[in-house]
Amino acid sequence: MFHGSIPALVTPFKNGELDLDTLKKLVDWHVDQGSNGLVPVGTTGESPTLSLREHEIVVEEVVKYAAGRIPVIAGAGANNTAEGVRLIKHAADVGADGALVVTPYYNKPTQRGLIAHFTAMHDAVDIPIIIYNIPPRSVVDMSPETMGELAKLPRIIGVKDATAKLERVALQRITCGRDFVQLSGEDATAIGYNAMGGTGCISVTANVAPKLSAEMQAACAAGDYKSALAYQDLLMPLHDAVFVEPGLCGVKFAMSELGLCSDEVRLPLQTVTDETKERLRAAMRHAGLLT
């Protein structure tokens, strides 16, 4: 069910409030552009600065707007297990196709704590769960062995891996099995990740270049890595430019250049500097997104 190019969807704002009209347009645009799924309210969706109710509203609206045309994997991460259970139950109740659950951040649980946290999330719902392993943000790294233990649970079906360690794919194929869904969480190495056994990418860049990202992933799935590399050559400057400052800030500016949404973000993040804007524009021209 979960494969290919899956944008980690931005949350558009207007004067500090959720811009649900623009959110609907973005969902329709991603369907038309060939994205293979959507992840609302992940880090790129500014989950750290949304209220719990805003988080729920965004998931509800994306599920409603997608209307079954592409899968919706709801962000349901928290460093508080009880809060995570609330979010994942809500996602299941409103019809999300799955949930993305990040390793609990800031409080640095042990591997045993990770197993307990994800088991509680698993036992709360009947929808598939994708583990989100991103040590640079959560300051905890789920080991392949721990992931293998969790993969024994029937609804823990995959991982979004943002470690940038390509060997993890091979190690997790051993501990979790070959059918375990392995999605890259790192745009710049997504082709290498697929070559190692991955099946797609939960992507930041795909917010602004969904068609190119989806075509690159389709080429990988077909084993046509020559074509995939041609797409990567187009996209690599954009991958790089988007993350000069926090990725969601970069990609929101790039989207604003295409008239898709405003570049408004919430504090403590800020819109990108003029220097970064010029770098993003140049990367968009390189990819053929701007003339």
pLDDT at 74: 98
Query: 58 is written with which tokens?
Result: 């965004």
> H-helix or E-strand containing 98?
strand 98-102
For range 150-170, the mean pLDDT: 97
pLDDT at 9: 98
For range 207-211, the mean pLDDT: 98
pLDDT at 1: 80
In a domain, 255, yes or no: no
17 forms bridges with which residues in the sheet? Answer: 14
Measured CA to CA, the distance from residue 74 to residue 62 in angstroms comes to 9
Query: 68 is written with which tokens?
Result: 């079954």
pLDDT at 39: 98
Alpha helices, DSSP H, located in 80-209: 81-93, 111-124, 135-138, 144-150, 167-176, 190-195
3-state secondary structure of 38: strand
pLDDT at 69: 98
3-state secondary structure of 68: coil
- Give the pLDDT confidence of 60-71 residue by residue, as tens digits: 999 999 999 999
User: Is the per-residue pLDDT at 210 higher than 90?
Assistant: yes
User: Is the per-residue pLDDT at 59 higher than 90?
Assistant: yes
In a domain, 259, yes or no: no
pLDDT at 182: 98
* Contact assessment for residue 271 and residue 244, using Cβ atoms and an 8 Å cutoff: no
CA-closest candidate to residue 141, choices 121, 120, 171? 171
Cβ neighbours of residue 205 under 8 Å, at least 6 residues apart? 187, 213, 235, 238, 239, 242, 251
Catalytic residues: 132, 160
- Give the pLDDT confidence of 243-269 residue by residue, as tens digits: 999 999 999 999 999 999 999 999 999
In a domain, 257, yes or no: no
In a domain, 116, yes or no: yes
Q: What strands lie across the sheet with 98-102, from one edge to the other?
A: 4-7, 200-203, 181-184, 156-161, 129-133, 98-102, 73-75
In which domain, by residue range, is 178 found? 4-220
Residue type, 81: T
Domains in the chain, number: 1
133 band by pLDDT with thresholds 50, 70 and 90? very high
Neighbours of 282 (CB within 10 A): 14
In a domain, 276, yes or no: no
User: Is the per-residue pLDDT at 78 higher than 90?
Assistant: yes
Mean pLDDT across the chain, nearest whole number? 97
Cα–Cα distances (Å) from 110 to 7, 19, 141, 144, 207, in that order, read 30, 38, 9, 14, 34
* Contact assessment for residue 176 and residue 147, using Cβ atoms and an 8 Å cutoff: yes
pLDDT at 103: 97
pLDDT at 215: 98
pLDDT at 28: 98
pLDDT at 204: 98
- Please give the model's pTM, rounded to 2 decimal places: 0.97
For range 114-119, the mean pLDDT: 98
The CATH number assigned to the domain holding 93 equals 3.20.20.70
- Give the pLDDT confidence of 82-104 residue by residue, as tens digits: 999 999 999 999 999 999 999 99
In a domain, 242, yes or no: no
In a domain, 107, yes or no: yes
In a domain, 135, yes or no: yes
3-state secondary structure of 53: helix
Backbone angles phi, psi at 39, to 5 degrees: -120, 100
Share of the chain above pLDDT 70, in %: 100
pLDDT at 237: 98
Q: Is the peptide bond before 268 cis (omega within 30 degrees of 0)?
A: yes
